[in-house]
Structure 1
Amino acid sequence: MSEVYESLMEGLNEALAFGRGEATGAIVHEVAVPEVDVAAIRASTGLSQSAFARSIGVAKGTLLNWEQGRRRPTGPAQVLLAVIAKRPSLVSELLR
């Protein structure tokens, strides 16, 4: 077998072992995304709920649920909102 094949198989077997909870020596990087205050972030942009929802690609109802605490943004939406919280002008810069 080729050296590349052996390396790939070793990596795949290590990933499977890690998935089973076995000690593999793998380096794990965890990124903590901060909780976000969606209403405050939107307010800092100066946009209406409709405009802000459109600018980040979500339905207005989704934004309302986030702002009223019925739901919380997760995954990419949470990361995007955390970025906007750090730099509110980003939304208007990208929409130009």
Structure 2
Amino acid sequence: MDVADLRTRLGLTQTQFARHFGFSVETLRHWERGDRQPRGAAKVLLSVIAHNPAAVLDALVPEFAKPHEEFVTKP
């Protein structure tokens, strides 16, 4: 997996990508330099990010920050 390409396609800096998806910047840099390869859960998460980054971001938003039906103004 080309993590640098994925991050670039999303238009994010290394810091933004790491913060948005819960990786350390140092780990991200290792992946992008090729020093290490994503494994296990990180590899799965990166695959999901590649296919549907919005779904991952939605899932990572704290529950209290998501809009709830009782707070939505009805016309």
TM range (shorter): 0.5 to 0.7
What is the TM-score of this pair, normalised by structure 1? 0.54
CA distance in 2, matches of 1:44, 1:90: 16
Q: Aligned residue for 2:35?
A: 70
Structure of greater Rg:
1
Distance 1:90 1:44 in 2: 16
State the one-letter code of the partner of 2:33.
Answer: Q
The answer as to whether partners of 1:45 and 1:89 remain within 8 angstroms in 2 is: no
SS at match of 1:70: coil
State whether residues 45 and 91 of structure 1, in contact with CA within 8 Å, keep that contact through their aligned partners in structure 2.
no
Q: Please, which runs of 5 or more residues in structure 2 have no aligned partner?
A: 67-75
Map Cα deviations across residues 28-78 of structure 1 (whole Å, 9 max, x no partner): xxxxxxxx2101111121111001011121210110000110001111110
Higher helix proportion (structure 1 or 2): 2
* Greater relative contact order (Cα < 8 A, sep 6+): 1
Match of 1:17 in 2: none
What number of residue pairs does the alignment pair up?
Answer: 61
Gaps of 5+ in 1: 1-35
Matched residues in 1 for 2:32 and 2:38: separation? 10
RMSD: 1.9
